[in-house]
Structures are given as C-alpha cells and as structure tokens.
A and B are shown apart, each in its own frame.
Chain A
Amino acid sequence: MHVHKFEKIWLTFGVAMLLVFLTVIGVSAFYLGNKPPSCLATIDPEKVDTQAPFNEPGLKKVEGKEWDYELVYVASAFAYQPGEVEVPFGAKVKVIATTKDVIHGFQVAGTNINMMLEPGYISEHIATFDKTGEYLVLCNEYCGVGHHMMMSKIKVVEQ
C-alpha cells in the first residue's frame, strides 16, 4: 500500500500532537489530581433523608481534612436542599450531593463545579471559592417538567 510522502509527514505530525495532548491531560489528571468527579460510594435512594451526611444538608466546617468545609446537597424533583447557602471567601469546599428520585445535574454556573447526580450514587467535587458574589446552582440534566426551575444559590462572602 502506497502512502504519499506528504501524507506520512502529516500523519506523523498529527499522531505526535495527539501523544503530547493525551500526555498533558493524563498528567493533569493523575499527577495534579484534576480528575472528573467519579465518586464510587453508593446509597439507598429511598433512605437519603435519614443517612449522614444527607440528613443535614448545608455547609459544615470540618477539621483535619484536606478541605475546610463540606457542602451537602440533596436533589429531588425539582429543588435542591439547601435552597441558598453562604460560603466564606477563599474556602476550600468539598461539595457532596445525591438525588432522591431521578437523575439530576449539579452545575454551579461560571465555575468548574459540574457533575451528574444519579439515584443510588454519591457525587463529590472539591473546589475553592476564590471570587465573591452570587452563583447560580442549576440542574443541567433533564429531569421532568420543572427541570428548568430547579435551582439553588451560593453566596460567596468576605468574612
């Protein structure tokens, strides 16, 4: 099979770029820790309200962990618990969320906090809130007729 000289150059260059690219995202993920949310913990979706930490949704200060706060959300059609929360500026926060019914999204608009909530699973993501202001939390995965009304607010405030 004959391959044109220019095509060989083109493909060699392309494959080299691909390797560089995959190395960059691989190093970012597994060396620097920038992995997409992939929590493996499960929960009975019917019993979310009675199980820690979801029996007390909201912000909680924690000690002795890599993060300062845990922010716990319970999603259900078509609302999040809590509906509004204040987070101190600069806080390193572990967001922990799950759903009681169908699949929902959990996206904090204007940030990289974006994850899927699936019944039976817990989703987690660690983020630092380094800009003050009001952030919209919204459901970005179709969940029914009120999907576009499903929201919450995070206020990042100086303390």
Chain B
Amino acid sequence: MLKDALKIKVDRRDGKLAMAHFYVAFIALAVGGLAGLLQTLVRSGKFELPAGIGYYQILTVHGVVLGLVLTTFFIMGFQISVVSKTAGTLTNRQRLIGWIGFWVMTTGTVLAAIMILLNEASVLYTFYAPLQAHALYYIGLTLVIVGSWLDGTVIIMKYIEWRKQNPGQASPLITFMALVNTLMWIVATIGVAATVLLQLLPWSLGLVDTVNVAVSRTLFWYFGHPLVYFWLLPAYMAWYVIIPKIIGGKIFSDSLARLSFILFLLFSIPVGIHHQLLEPGIDPAWKFIQVILTFLVVIPSLMTAFSLFATFENYGRSKGAKGLFGWLKKLPWGDARFIVPFIGMLSFIPAGAGGIINASFQMNQVVHNTIWVTGHFHLTAATAVVLTFFGIAYWLIPHLTGRVLTKKMNKLAIIQGVTWTIGMTFMSGAMHAAGLLGAPRRSSYSEYGGSAQAAEWIPYQIAQAVGGSILFIAIILMLYIFVNLAFFAPKGDQEFPIGEPLSNEKPPMVFENWKLWIGITILLILFAYTVPFIDLIQNAPPGSKGYKLW
C-alpha cells in the first residue's frame, strides 16, 4: 500500500498552493540577486549607484529578500509538497490555512519592501536598534513570520492526522523531518517576535521612548542562528531522502536520519550568543557554554556526512564498482537533480570548517564582522542550501505543473550549477581572503582616507565583483529554467523521488515523542539563556532613543 502511495502525484490543489510560494521565492531571487550584483559592483570602486539609491538600502533589500523571503517561501512550498506527497493530500481546511498563511506572508513582504524602497528602513534585516525603521517595516516582517506559522500549522495538522490514522507506526521519514524543521522554526521565531512586538514596534510607534539594545540583540540572535538551520534542514531532507532515490540507491538508515534531525532540533536554538561573542554585557562563561552547545551540532553533521557517502558507496558497489573509490564513477553525473545538490554538499566541507573558526570563542575576534563571515555564509546558505533548492526545483516544479524536465533543460541546469560554482569560488574566496586582512562586512566602498591597509583589500573587492557578475548570470539561467518548467516545458509526468531505507528495521517510536523532545529543547534554552537575560535586564544601562542615520 505504501509503495502505491509513493507513486501518486501531489494533488493539483496542493500543487497550486506550493507553486504560489515558489513564484514569490523566485521573484525574490531575481530582486535579491540584482541587489547583490550591485553591491559587489559598488565595492569594486568602479561603479556608483544611480538615482540616489543608497548602498545600505540595497544591502537591506539583499538580506531581507534572500535571507527571509526566498528561503521562507521556498521552504514552506517544499515542505507542503513533501507532506502532501508522503502523508496524504491536505484537507480543505488545511489547504485554506495554507493559503491564508501564503497571503499573510506576501502582504508582509510587500509592506516591508515598500518601506525599504521609500528609504524608511535601511536598518538591514538584523534590525540594529537603536537605528529605528518605520513601524510598517517591523509590521511587515512580523506578518512574514506569522504567515509562516500558519503554513507550519498545516504541516503539524497533517502530521497529527497521519499519526491518528496509522496508530503505532512511524511517520513517513520526510514528513517527520518537515515537522522537526517546523517545530524548530516556531520555537526560534518566538525570539524575533518578542523583540519586534514587545520592544521595536511600541518604540517605533512612539509609545515608549527607549529600547534595551542588548536585550533586543540577544532576542534577535536567539532567532538568528536557528534561522540558518531552518534553511539547512530542508537541504538535508533532500540529501537524506530524495538524492538516494534520484541516484537509484537507498537511504542508509531511517533511524539515524531521524536521530540527526532530533539532535538538530535540540542544539540549534540554545546557541545564539555565539553571534555575540565580542559584545559587552554578557559573561564570558555563558558565552563559552553556548559555544559548547554550538559545537554539539558537529555530531549530527558527522552523521549526515557519513550517511550520504555510505548511500553513494553502497549504490556504486551494487553496480559492480571496484576499489576504494570506484563507486564515485557510478554516480549519475549527467543528472542535474543529483549533481547540482552534490556541489552543494561538497561546498559544505569548507563552509563547515569556516563555521568552526567563527564559533571558536576567542578565535572569533580575528574574523568577527569582517567580510570573511560574508564569504562563509555564501558557502553555507548561498551554495550548499541554494544549490540544493535549485536541484529540488528542477523536478518539483514540473511535477507540480504537470510538465517534465527535458534533456535540454537538464543540460542548462548543469551549466547553471557550474556557473554558480565558478562565480561563488571567486566571490567567496576573495571575501575570505580580504576578511583575514581585516576588510569589514556590510560596508560600502571606502579607501579609509588613503590607508595602506585598506588599499590591499581593493583587488579582492574587484575579484568579488567578477564573482558577483558570474553569479548573476547563473541567476538569470535559473530564472529562465524556472519559467520554462512552470509554463513552457512539455506536458508529462515528472517523478517525485522519495527514497526508501536500506533495511526494513522499524525506527524506534521514541523519536515521535514530541513531549520529550520539545521538553528537552525548552530546558536547554532555559539553561542557556536564563542567566544571561537576567544579567542584561537587571544590570541594564539607561535605554536608547531611536536614530535614523541614513
């Protein structure tokens, strides 16, 4: 019965809901990508923005539109698709909640975008109180979060329904994973919702005069770090469950995949202070405790790396591969659905190493707020995650629109992935190098009064512009492929690949004990944050009034 269910297409009506999310996501890619290109051009020193547009205005666009809009919309569309596919078509009520979520998110996006375009909100997506944006900017971003909660509700409802209908059975693996990511997202977004609703909004509306800056930052980063895991886990869903099917292999272990997701749930949230290592007002012992918790994600990361390569090797050997690395040759290198996410996986190796440096307590001082950090998350978010999302789009979009990925589009998709890789190698490589020399992030072009040190950074900034331009070409290719798959590709049945585990071993039911896992998650958060928050509130300096310095 399960086997038959796996062949069924995603219901048309659920497909429409998912596609609505993808349209917004890819419009965001176009807008945010253009903003990114302009930033690298400005920083090369050879180009100035026309018509009074500010560098920090387009920097805000880039961060909001790619970091929040593209990711959240794509992830919600993807998660709704996999849940509809593996746990069953949404009920009318669930789908309605999904549509309301979509429109709430879209309204919020438009509101925030208008405020940024009017230059009322050049505070970046990280807020930076006491810089004070227009209240509608904060309201807009709040709506994006609230809408995502509604989308998340759909996934939770479907999961509960499935468990009721299948008592005593483990939920479908990818539905389980979507649920973990949703729960993590809800727990994490409480932080940003708290700073916006309790602090920034009343302050920007003039209801209160001052804001506690350190508390606001700590609440933001309580959200800001799990945010990156919220981007990453859908990529892991594809790596664990979808890629094995695409190559024709099996999932290495269903239970271990579930365990690694549970560990990500536990260790993604009580760690945000590692973004605040160089800040006053937080005791170094508590910073170090959060550093230790941060590093515990090494364990599920190692499990993931092992599982993926075990899947690849098992498959290669089943096809008769010999020798230590002979199995590599058996992988489907001509299939864009495999190779583009595979490049993403590889980029995670240097990306992970860089992340270890960033989080290493005192070593953070060498790189904090230099453009090294920007180089780092352009490997994690903008390569590992984004290329995996593109790899998903290549089959999911035509599956949902009743079309197919043609040979020609497959080839173009590979060219797209390779172009992206070349562009990112230049851009991220130059960012890492310039950062080690001290070049700051989030900064417009500057010669710093003729400083000899700043002059050393300029060749790297030109390399970043070269990389940025190549990346923009890759974005145009991706948009072309998206439009083709959404509207023009030939009609047909594109497979929705869902892998099956190597063994029939039943995963332990303890993984579905949410009282336990959410309970531990909350305990860890209380452990990591209670004392720092008490310190920040009890020893608070006088609050800050708002500034509009742009």
Q: Which of B287, B362, B370 has the most CB of A within 10 A?
A: B362
Q: With an 8 A cutoff between CB atoms, is B110 at the interface?
A: no
- The reply to whether A22 and B292 form a contact with Cβ atoms under 8 Å apart is yes
Q: With an 8 A cutoff between CB atoms, is B539 at the interface?
A: yes
Least distance between A104 CB and chain B CB atoms (Å): 10
Contact check: which of B255, B441, B544 meets A1 at CB < 8 Å? B255
- The reply to whether B542 and A44 form a contact with Cβ atoms under 8 Å apart is yes
Interface string of B436-480 (1 = CB under 8 A from A): 011111111110110111100000000000000000000000000
User: How far is B541's CA from A105's CA once the two chains are assembled, in angstroms?
Assistant: 19
Q: With an 8 A cutoff between CB atoms, is A38 at the interface?
A: yes
- The reply to whether B361 and A25 form a contact with Cβ atoms under 8 Å apart is yes
Least distance between A146 CB and chain B CB atoms (Å): 8
Chain A residues with CB below 8 A from B446, complex form: 148-149
Q: Which listed segment binds B: A9-17, A54-62, A63-71?
A: A9-17
Interface residues of B in 259-276 (CB under 8 A from A): 259, 276
Least distance between A36 CB and chain B CB atoms (Å): 5
Interface residues of B in 212-233 (CB under 8 A from A): 213-214, 217
Please name the residue on chain A nearest to B457 by beta carbon.
A109
User: How far is B542's CA from A112's CA once the two chains are assembled, in angstroms?
Assistant: 30
Chain B residues with CB below 8 A from A14, complex form: 298-299, 302
A22/B362 contact (C-beta < 8 A), A38-B282, A114-B369, A120-B213 known? no
- The reply to whether A142 and B284 form a contact with Cβ atoms under 8 Å apart is no
Q: Which listed segment binds A: B13-21, B325-333, B392-400, B501-509?
A: B501-509
- The reply to whether B453 and A135 form a contact with Cβ atoms under 8 Å apart is yes
Interface size on B, residues (CB 8 A): 79
Q: Which of A28, A30, A35, A120 has the most CB of B within 10 A?
A: A120
Contact check: which of B281, B292, B540, B547 meets A144 at CB < 8 Å? B547
Interface string of B348-388 (1 = CB under 8 A from A): 00000000100011111110111000000000000000000
A112/B366 contact (C-beta < 8 A), A11-B303, A144-B131 known? yes
Q: With an 8 A cutoff between CB atoms, is A85 at the interface?
A: no
- The reply to whether B441 and A77 form a contact with Cβ atoms under 8 Å apart is no
- The reply to whether A136 and B280 form a contact with Cβ atoms under 8 Å apart is no
Q: With an 8 A cutoff between CB atoms, is B56 at the interface?
A: yes
Please name the residue on chain A nearest to B368 by beta carbon.
A114
User: How far is B451's CA from A153's CA once the two chains are assembled, in angstroms?
Assistant: 9
Least distance between B208 CB and chain A CB atoms (Å): 16
Interface string of A135-151 (1 = CB under 8 A from B): 11011111111111101
Contact check: which of A35, A45, A138 meets B284 at CB < 8 Å? A35
A112/B550 contact (C-beta < 8 A), A25-B291, A120-B214, A121-B214 known? no
- The reply to whether B306 and A37 form a contact with Cβ atoms under 8 Å apart is no
Chain A residues with CB below 8 A from B443, complex form: 140, 142, 147-148
Interface size on A, residues (CB 8 A): 69
Contact check: which of B253, B298, B503, B549 meets A145 at CB < 8 Å? B549
Least distance between B393 CB and chain A CB atoms (Å): 31
Please name the residue on chain A nearest to B130 by beta carbon.
A102
User: How far is B254's CA from A27's CA once the two chains are assembled, in angstroms?
Assistant: 39
A107/B438 contact (C-beta < 8 A), A36-B287, A40-B281 known? yes
* Total contacts A-B at CB 8 Å: 227
Chain A residues with CB below 8 A from B365, complex form: 36-37, 112-115
Chain A residues with CB below 8 A from B11, complex form: none
Interface string of B482-519 (1 = CB under 8 A from A): 00000000000000000000010101100000000000
A35/B362 contact (C-beta < 8 A), A29-B288, A141-B369 known? yes
- The reply to whether A11 and B302 form a contact with Cβ atoms under 8 Å apart is yes
Least distance between B280 CB and chain A CB atoms (Å): 4
A1/B505 contact (C-beta < 8 A), A18-B295, A151-B449 known? yes
- The reply to whether A109 and B298 form a contact with Cβ atoms under 8 Å apart is no
User: How far is B438's CA from A109's CA once the two chains are assembled, in angstroms?
Assistant: 5
Contact check: which of A39, A145, A149, A151 meets B280 at CB < 8 Å? A39
Please name the residue on chain A nearest to B508 by beta carbon.
A1
Q: With an 8 A cutoff between CB atoms, is B412 at the interface?
A: no
- The reply to whether A38 and B287 form a contact with Cβ atoms under 8 Å apart is yes
Q: Which of B285, B288, B303, B535 has the most CB of A within 10 A?
A: B288
Chain A residues with CB below 8 A from B287, complex form: 36, 38
Least distance between B510 CB and chain A CB atoms (Å): 10
Q: With an 8 A cutoff between CB atoms, is B111 at the interface?
A: no
Least distance between B351 CB and chain A CB atoms (Å): 17
Q: With an 8 A cutoff between CB atoms, is B279 at the interface?
A: yes
Please name the residue on chain A nearest to B507 by beta carbon.
A1
Q: With an 8 A cutoff between CB atoms, is B54 at the interface?
A: yes
Contact check: which of B124, B130, B366, B539 meets A101 at CB < 8 Å? B130
Least distance between B288 CB and chain A CB atoms (Å): 6
Chain B residues with CB below 8 A from A43, complex form: 541
Please name the residue on chain B nearest to A139 by beta carbon.
B440
Interface residues of A in 114-159 (CB under 8 A from B): 114-123, 134-136, 138-149, 151, 153
21 A-B pairs with C-beta separation under 8 A: A2-B503, A21-B295, A21-B356, A35-B362, A36-B287, A37-B280, A38-B287, A39-B281, A41-B280, A46-B542, A103-B128, A109-B453, A114-B278, A121-B281, A142-B59, A142-B443, A143-B549, A144-B550, A145-B550, A147-B442, A147-B443
Those 5 A-B pairs whose CB atoms lie nearest each other, nearest first: A144-B549, A120-B541, A109-B438, A121-B280, A42-B541
Contacts beyond the supplied A101-B549, A118-B280, A120-B542: 4 A-B pairs with Cβ under 8 Å: A25-B363, A37-B365, A134-B451, A143-B128
